[in-house]
Amino acid sequence: MTDAILLAYKDVERSMERFTQLLQSHVDTMGAAPSSDTDQVFRLSQGSKAMRDSAMIYLSYAKYVAYGMPESEDLVQDEIQG
């Protein structure tokens, strides 16, 4: 694929990683607060996990496309390392 697509993929990957980390940190902070609404913390925790899982699914296909839709995952890894 083009360098622009590969760079865009890497930007999205970093952004999604940062988002999910910040969201989980927020859940942890809310859960530690003595006055926290346990139902809200639970829902946010479940949403955080769903967001992380969805991001992984989305990114796995984006990675596949960004690296030129190679025949195997080994070829993706070769591209990353090479």
Contact yes or no for 25/56 (Cβ under 8 A):
no
**Whether pLDDT at 82 is above 70:** no
Detail the DSSP E strand segments found in 1-82. Answer: none
Other C-beta atoms lying within 10 Å of the C-beta of residue 42: 12
Q: d(Cα 45, Cα 32) in Å, to the nearest integer?
A: 13
Cα first-last separation, the chain: 15
Per-residue confidence (pLDDT) for residue 77, from 0 to 100 = 61
For the chain, domain boundaries: 3-81
Contact yes or no for 37/51 (Cβ under 8 A):
no
pTM of the model: 0.73
pLDDT digits (tens, 9 = 90+) for 7-52: 999 999 999 999 999 999 999 999 899 888 999 999 999 999 999 9
